[in-house]
Each structure stands twice: as structure tokens, then as C-alpha cells.
Amino acid sequence: MFLGIDIGTSGVKAVVLDTAGQVVGQGTAALTVQRPHPSWSEQDPDAWWDATTAAVRAIDPAIRRQVRGIGLAGQMHGATLLGADDRPLRPAILWNDGRSAAECAELEAATPAFHAIGGNLVMPGFTAPKLQWVRHHEPEVFDRIATVLLPKDYVRLRMTGDMASDVSDSAGTLWLDVAERRWSDTLLAATGLTEEQMPRLVEGSAATGRLRPDVAADWGMDAVPVAGGGGDNAAGAAGVGAVRDGDALLSLGTSGVIFVATDGFRPNVAGAVHAFCHCVPDMWHQMAVHLSAAACIDWVARLTGADGAADLFARAERAGPASGPELFLPYLSGERTPHNDAQVRGAFLRLDNDSGPDALAQAVLEGVGFALADGLGVVRDAGTTVERLSVIGGGARSRYWGETLAAAMNVELVYLKGGEVGPALGAARLAQLAVDGGTPADVCQPPPVSHVIAPDPALVDRLAPKYAAFRDAYPRIRTL
């Protein structure tokens, strides 16, 4: 059996797969985000470790004893700054933190190689501008940095004592030569760092070390190998078999991501499309990233007094798709693709006296769909053909939202059994590759199809005017 651990933003998920690829055990533990100032988003790295231990220990001990390997997945881009004693120097700055907009402009102007070598725009979500912000605003912290780790790799350090990272997660730092799958001295130097402050790089399917004896004893398992793993989206793709050129998925977690596997490095900097290494060897991927997806669902549920996401979806269904004039722009934490705008914020527009909680709920479902349609458009503009998307993540549980999303994007959505397990599933498969070998295509088989939602032509037509209004709204609100 193989254990996959996903260090998410809102919680840690641990799953165990048997050799047939069936989920035989699961555990979760919640996390909270701290926002001490506007645009800031931070977490305590030790909270990841506590939640990881809680999630693993929630799995049946009899199942834990049979685990032969562990894989890690995690939220990308988080700046975890360690001193010489391997302890955090400050709270980790997360992927959806927007404080470093000025540093992004500075790095873009000073080092054009971020586009050519890093393959991406310099955005506040990435790790490099976060370090530049620390360099400017917390120099006493910057001067003490011995190592910079990503969130899952801090957990790896606690698990194994090893400083290592996989290339898919590390590509999101903006310090990687993405085509060559290695650290770039040029990009590191732009933020005053060196390769000595980085973890060693491995492929996601390679072993990095073994579980420390004390951790193994606490978790009730042997000192098993720990695989490199992957960034959350790449690992999620491995979990649903998106490891071949052209395989595409939609991840509906706190953020929303459209992911397309590619057999070469194909950046599209102008469209704010991310181009990263995949977590399996000799593969890369493109992503359109939206900073708020299921986060918008949770937010509007709190706003309207809904009893959680399921109640929110039911309220939206009572209103019905395209039933009112209301528009929602889902930029609660800024936006990446296609706008690269950390400062823009969400908005309700075209409200009237009849705009009740049900109508607001429906507007939020549509607004997230329209933002995803924007992202899909720039992926297609880069020459990538996308006709269907496999759906993973917690947002995959709602069929009604799926109908709205399929029509908003005008693309077929394929729902997979167990797809809501998400990146932890792929992490477990990477552990299997590290321990037993084999090829990603053989091991990373897609789960069985639960159902398929084709876009309803009538709903596509009804949503089209609202999507046009949505696209017109962004340039009008961004100056606010």
C-alpha cells in the first residue's frame, strides 16, 4: 500500500492506495490562514506538520502498518524560510499573498531572463518576488536565511531530515530553468540567493529519503521511502492519469486550475499561462490559474448564512442558471490568468431589489465559470487544443455547479470516481513509482468515469451575454 499526503491551504489530506489503485484509507486535518494585513496570506509551517500527523493518524492503524512508500503533494509557491537550525524564521508567505507587486515590477525590469528561462511572468504568487519583498522589508530575516523550502518540502524535512524538492513544485518558484529542470544561477542571483540555499532537485517519482525512525514509530509504519512528489496540480494530474501530451483537467479547490500536460516546454508568457515541469520525467504542463474558486463558494456561503457548500449549491439551483442580471467577479485574492493583477478585488455588479441570497449564490457559481472560461481561452490561444476536462478537487462534488461550468466554458467535463481525492491520490501513485518502478502511463491510470457533463447548447447561449458583460467589467473595476 502507498500513502499520499497533500499539504493544502485549508487542510491536509492523507490517503492510502492499494496496489490495485483503490483508496482504502483516508484522513484529514484542517488548517487556517492568517491575514495580518490586506493582501497578506500566511501560515505557520509547524501547523502543516501537526495537521499532517493528525491526518495520517486518522487512518486505520492496520492499514498504516502496510504502507510501503509515501508521496507528497502540496500548495505551491509558499516561501518557507529556514535558519541555520532548520527552523522557520517567520510565517510562510503563501501562494495567494499579494504583497510583492512592486517587487514583481522590479524583477521584470531588471531580469528579462525570468521570461526566457523561468517561462512565466513574475507574479506576486510566485516565490521569487516574495523573497525580494523580504529582502527589502525584513532584511534581518533575509540575512539569516539558510534554506528556502516549499510547503510540502518542509513537511518532508520533518519526515526524513532531507532537504529535497521535485521539479514540478520548484518550477513555481521562478528560480528554475524550466526547460533544463535545474536551478538557474541567474534567476537566483536576481533575488540575492544562491543554489546552496535551495534543496536538491529530484523527479517526482524518485525517492528522496526514508521516514525517520521516531516519525515511523509515531505513525505506526516502517521507515519507508518518501518520493519527490509534486506540486498540487501536477500531483492531481498524475492521480487522474493526465501524464500524456494533451491530457487536460480542471481542479476545483480553493483555487481553480486548468491543467494541460505537454511533451515539451511551451511557455505563453503574454497570456499569463504558467509553464512548469510535470511531476513525471520528460513531461511539462501548461496551467491557467485562478486564485479563487471553491474559496468563493465558502465566502458567499458565510455571507448569505448558508449552511455550508451543499446548502449554497441548493440555493443557487433554486434561482436557476442565467436567471438574473447579477454578475460576480471572483477576484477575492486578486487574479493570475489572464490578468496578472494582484490588486484587483471581487465585486457584485448589476444588483437590484430582487437580488436575494439565491441569486447571489448563482451569480458566484457563474462568475467562477466565467473566470475559468477566460483561462481556457488563453490556453487555447497558445495553440493547445482542449475539448474535454477531467474534474478533480472538492468542487467536483456538485453536479449542478458542473452544469454551470460546462456551459460557461463550453467544454465537456468528465467526472471521475474518487476524483475529489485530488493531489493526495497522485502523491500515492508517485510513491508507487518510486518503490515498485514502472512507467507513469502504466501506474497513473485514470479512475473510472462517474459521469460526463456536456455543455447544454441552450444554457451556453443564455450565459453568453452575461459572459460578455463579465469580460467588459474587469477593465472597468480594475482602476478602483
**Nearest Cα residue to 167 out of 118, 231, 262:** 231
Rounded to an integer, what distance in angstroms lies between the CA atom of residue 424 and that of residue 162? Answer: 21
Rounded to an integer, what distance in angstroms lies between the CA atom of residue 430 and that of residue 233? Answer: 13
Q: Is the dihedral of CA 127, 335, 36, 233 positive or negative?
A: negative
- The Cα-based distances of 53 to 14, 112, 216, 430 in angstroms read 9, 42, 11, 20
The CA-based angle 126-131-133, given to 5 degrees, is: 100
Does residue 338 have a cis bond before it (omega within 30 degrees)?
yes
C-beta atoms surrounding 238 within 10 Å: 34
Query: Where does residue 434 rank: exposed (0-12), middle (13-18), buried (19+ CB within 10 A)?
Result: buried
The backbone region for 350, taken as left when phi is positive above 0, alpha when psi lies in -120 to 50, beta otherwise, is left
Q: Which helix (H) or strand (E) holds 383?
A: none
Catalytic residue chosen out of the listed positions 153, 162, 166, 232: 232
Rounded to an integer, what distance in angstroms lies between the CA atom of residue 17 and that of residue 320? Answer: 39
The verdict on whether 232 is a catalytic residue reads: yes
Contact 342, 334 (CB under 8 A): yes
Which residues are the active-site residues? 232
